[in-house]
């Protein structure tokens, strides 16, 4: 379900891969090996005048009873909570690897896996964003969630969800305003394009 990912690419590399035309002088990014929900991260979005930008947003929508940091691709264009964001506030989340843990019975060690796409660093995760008023600061922030879908053949033995990774040819269409939201771009990544490595375990 993508609760962690790695981002090592710097702002110049992100701008190059996602064709960002903004001035990067005010953007400061440190590489992060274990990006977690609640942290501030760079996403690629459409800014004023239709210009593509790198924006710093908080990962996850903090509600009184839960923390939503992923959105299901199935029916997202009709889901009450996500519909408006998917129609008008789509974004792309740069990542160099995704971490996932296998489902195990409680008390047993969960195996940790790293998922990468060779020769695509960074790759683009489909995301949505929306404004959120931080109750601690009383300030409005932009927060984002990553989209997940059905697992491919590699992911099926590990987890029942797979982060939705966009094809580079689809970046422009995914970010562009459209009369109909681009549900057709939320495809399952072919297993042949991924490499999965088991890297550790932890007690669940």
Least Cα distance to 100 among 42, 156, 39 occurs for 156
Long-range contact set of residues 199-202: C-beta below 8 Å, sequence gap at least 24: 199/112, 199/113, 199/114, 200/111, 200/112, 201/109, 201/110, 201/111, 201/112, 202/101, 202/109, 202/110, 202/112
The pLDDT tens digits of the residues spanning 118-174 come to 999 999 999 999 998 888 889 999 999 999 999 999 999 999 999 999 999 999 999
H/E segment holding residue 76? none
Tell me what the mean pLDDT of segment 180-194 comes to: 96
DSSP letter at 87 equals: H
The pLDDT tens digits of the residues spanning 2-48 come to 789 999 999 999 999 999 988 888 899 999 999 999 999 999 999 88
The pLDDT tens digits of the residues spanning 64-109 come to 888 899 999 999 999 999 999 999 999 999 999 999 988 655 666 7
Q: Model pTM?
A: 0.93
């Amino acid at each position: 379900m993508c609760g962690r990912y790695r981002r090592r690419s710097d702002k110049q590399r992100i701008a190059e891969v996602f064709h960002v035309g903004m001035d990067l002088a005010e953007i400061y990014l440190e590489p992060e090996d274990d990006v977690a929900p609640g942290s501030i991260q760079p996403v690629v979005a459409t800014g004023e005048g239709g210009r593509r930008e790198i924006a710093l947003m908080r990962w996850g929508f903090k509600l009184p009873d839960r923390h939503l940091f992923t959105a299901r691709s199935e029916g997202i264009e009709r889901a009450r909570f996500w519909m408006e964001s998917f129609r008008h506030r789509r974004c792309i989340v740069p990542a160099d690897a995704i971490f996932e843990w296998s489902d195990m019975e409680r008390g047993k060690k969960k195996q940790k896996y790293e998922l990468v796409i060779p020769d695509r660093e960074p790759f683009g995760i489909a995301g949505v964003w929306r404004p959120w008023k931080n109750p601690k600061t009383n300030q409005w922030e932009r927060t984002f969630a990553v989209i997940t879908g059905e697992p491919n053949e590699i992911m099926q033995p590990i987890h029942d969800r797979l982060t939705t990774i966009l094809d580079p040819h689809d970046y422009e269409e995914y970010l562009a305003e459209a009369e109909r939201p681009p549900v057709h771009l939320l495809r399952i990544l072919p297993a042949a394009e991924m490499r999965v490595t088991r890297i550790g375990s932890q007690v669940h």
